[in-house]
Chain A
C-alpha cells in the first residue's frame, strides 16, 4: 500500500506551522472546511504527515479519524513526502492507447521504483496519473512542471539522466 504512514521523520518548521494555524483559523466553523484546509496544508508541507493531520483535527475540532479518512480517500493527498523531481506518467485513456504503459515501465526500470514510491536519495518520486489534459501530445510524462510529450520508452533514459546530472 503506497499511501501508508511514512518512515521519514517529520521536519515541519515553526513558520510552516504558523501558516497552517492561520489557514485553520480562517476556515474554522465553516461548513465543509476539511478539504480546503488539507489542500492548504499539503501545499505548505508538501505532504500530510501524522503530525499535520493532528494539528488539523485539533484546530478544526473534528475527530482525527475523519481527517485521516479524508486524507486517504483522495489521490491528491499524499501521506509520504515527494521527491525533488516529481514524475507523473499519464495513464489516461488517450495516453494508454498510445503506449504510456511502456513509458511507465521504462521509468520504473530506470529508477527501480514503482508508482507511489520515492528513490532512496529523495531525488525522484513516481506517480501514475489519470489525464493531465494534454491528450494531443500523448503519451505524456510530467517532471515537476515540465511536460514531455509524444514519448517513446527509449527517450525516457536520456531525459532522466538530465535530471540526475542536475542533482
Chain B
C-alpha cells in the first residue's frame, strides 16, 4: 500500500452540497491527477463539519488547515501551493468574525473551542459511504464485544441507566428505562421491533440529518445492539423523504453492513440475527410523535393514538417496540466503549452528556454545534455563534421549534439543559436554535409557529384541530391591528385549555410559542393592540412606507417597480406613495438607491 501523506476532506453534507461542494470535489480530483499525486494524496468526501454558513468547507490534514467558502476556481491554487509546496493559502483560511484572525486548525477557532463532539464524533472525520473507515474509527467494537462475550442484556441496560442518557428527540425520557421497559415487555409470538425516529420535522433543525449524512453506521450499530438487548430481529428507520442525501447514505450503509455480516442472519457468527428496513416519511410533522410514526410505518394516515398502552408494550403492529431518535442512538456506542462514568461526568446534575444544536437565524456562524449540557445560551450565541450579524441587537432565541418557546435576551445566561429550559417556558426539543434580532416581531413569530401547527395538525382530536385555528385567527386579528386587550386574555385561556386537552404532544405543546412570547414580550402585543403599531416593523397591515422628500432624487425607480402603481411623481421631483393603494410589499424600499424610503 502506498503511503498517503495528505488527506483532503471535502464536506458533502446538504449545506455544502447546496453551496456546490460537488464541483469543488471534482476539481480536486482533476488537479490531484494533473499533478500525478493520486497515490500520496487521498480525497475524502465527509459529513458535516458544522460551519454550514461558511461552506463549502475543505480541511487538509496533517496540518488541519480549514478553508472556507472554497470555489472550484480556488482549487488549483490550494493544490499547487499547499499540497505541492506545503504553503498554506492564508487567503482562503476560515476567518474568525471579530478579531479577523485566521485559524490554521479548527480546534483553535471560537466556533469549535467550546464544543465537545460525541454524537458528531465521526462527522467530517470519516467517509460516511465507507464501512472500512467506520471500522477504522473503532466502529463495531461495541457490538463485537457484546456478541463474543454474550454480555447479559441487563448489563447493557444498567450501563445506559447509570450514564444518565435522556432521549434527544425532545421529551428527555431516560433511555435506559425505555430499553428496560421494552426488554421486560412480553410478546406473545416473540416479535419485538426497534425503531429509529429520523423524521426531523422541526423547521430549522438539521442535527439528525447531519448525523445520518456524516456517520450512518453509528446509528445502525446502536440499533443492532438495541435489537440484541431487547430481543428483536427487525429494525425500522423512519426518515423524511426531504433528506435525499441521508437516505442514500443509509441505503449504502445498510448494504455494506449486510455484506460484512454485520446485519442479517447470524451476525458475526453468533445466533443473533437482525436487519433494518428504511421507511420514508412523506412530509407530515405529526409523524415525529411516536405513536403517529408507528401508524405511518403501518401504512396509514399518520394519526397518533392515546397512550397507554405505551409503545414499549404495544407499539408497531401491536408488538413491543423500542423507539429512539437518531442523536440518542449516536451516543450509545460511545457510552458502551468509553464507559458510563465518562459520559455521566459531562453535563449537569440531571442532564448528562452533550446536545447537538442547529444554530440558525440571525447569527453569524450558522451551523451545527455540539456542546456539553449546561453551557449557557450566551456562550452559544456570542462565542460559538459570533453574535448577530450587521451589529444588530440580540433579542431572543427560540428552542424546541413549534413546540418550544422564546428565551429573551435577559435570560441569556440560562444554562441549556432539559430542566432549565422547561422552567423558563421553552423546551429542549430536538435541537433547533433560532436566533432573532431587533428586526423580528415576536407576535409574528408566534403566529408563524401557530400557522405551522394549524397546517400540521392531523385533525383527529378537536382541541388541536379547532383550538390551533382559533388561536391563529386571534393572532391574525392582532397583527392586522384589530385586536383588543380582552383578546390577549382569551388567547391565554385558550392556550391552557389546548395544553390540557389535546391528544398528543403536537397539540399539547402548540401553545408554547404563544405563551412564552406573551410572558416575555407582552409589551409588543400591547403595542399592536393599543397603539396599532408593530415595534419591529414586520406586520404589514400596521406598516406605512413613506418617501423622504429631502432624500428623494425623483429617479422614478420606485414608481417603475411598484406592482400596484401606488407611487406617483414627476421626474427629478420627490415622489409620493398613495397609502390607499400601497400593498406594503417593500419593493420600493429595496430598490431605492438613495435610502429615501422609510418604513414605520
Contacts and interface: CB of A to CB of B under 8 A. Distances in A.
Interface of A: 31-36, 38-39, 66, 69-70, 73-77, 91-98, 102, 105-106, 109, 129-138, 140, 147, 149, 152-154
A92 B452 CA distance: 9
A149 B209 CA distance: 19
A138 B360 contact: yes
Given A73-B284, A93-B361, A93-B398, A135 B585 contact: no
A136 B279 contact: no
B515 to A, nearest CB: 18
A157 to B, nearest CB: 9
A148 B280 CA distance: 26
B458 A97 contact: no
A154 to B, nearest CB: 5
A127 to B, nearest CB: 10
Given A34-B300, A93-B432, A97-B361, A154 B241 contact: no
A32 B299 contact: yes
B204 A134 contact: no
B362 A154 contact: no
29 contacts: A35-B279, A36-B280, A39-B241, A66-B300, A70-B299, A75-B284, A91-B203, A92-B204, A93-B360, A93-B432, A93-B448, A96-B203, A97-B436, A97-B440, A105-B585, A106-B587, A109-B585, A131-B203, A131-B205, A131-B242, A132-B18, A135-B206, A135-B358, A135-B366, A136-B15, A137-B53, A140-B18, A149-B18, A153-B587
A9 B464 CA distance: 37
Contacts of B19: 136-137, 149
B360 A134 contact: no
Interface string B350-382: 000000001011100011000000000000000
B500 interface: no
Contact of B204 (A94, A102, A149, A153): A94
A137 B18 contact: yes
A50 B366 CA distance: 43
Given A32-B297, A132-B14, 7 more contacts: A69-B301, A73-B301, A93-B361, A93-B434, A93-B448, A97-B440, A130-B283
B463 interface: no
B585 A74 contact: no
Interface in B414-463: 432, 434-436, 440, 445, 448-449, 452, 458
Nearest to A148: B18
Interface in B444-491: 445, 448-449, 452, 458
Q: Which 7 A-B pairs have the closest CB atoms?
A: A136-B52, A94-B360, A74-B282, A93-B204, A92-B203, A76-B282, A32-B299
A93 B203 contact: yes
- The CB with the most chain B CB atoms within 10 A, among A32, A34, A91, A136, is that of A136
A32 B279 contact: yes
B317 interface: yes
Nearest to B203: A92
Interface in B266-282: 279-282
Contact-residue size bin, chain B (C-beta under 8 Å from the other chain):
35 or more
Contact of B298 (A32, A91, A95): A32
A130 B452 contact: yes
B256 interface: no
B122 interface: no
B394 interface: no
A149 B20 CA distance: 12
Contact of A152 (B296, B300, B361, B590): B590
Nearest to A140: B18
A76 B280 CA distance: 11
Contacts of B18: 132, 134, 137, 140, 147, 149
Contacts of B358: 135
Contacts of B297: 32
- The CB with the most chain B CB atoms within 10 A, among A69, A76, A106, is that of A76
Contacts of B315: none
B283 A70 contact: no
Given A93-B203, A98-B362, A73 B14 contact: no
B132 to A, nearest CB: 27
A35 B52 contact: no
Interface string B211-247: 0000000000000000000000000000001110000
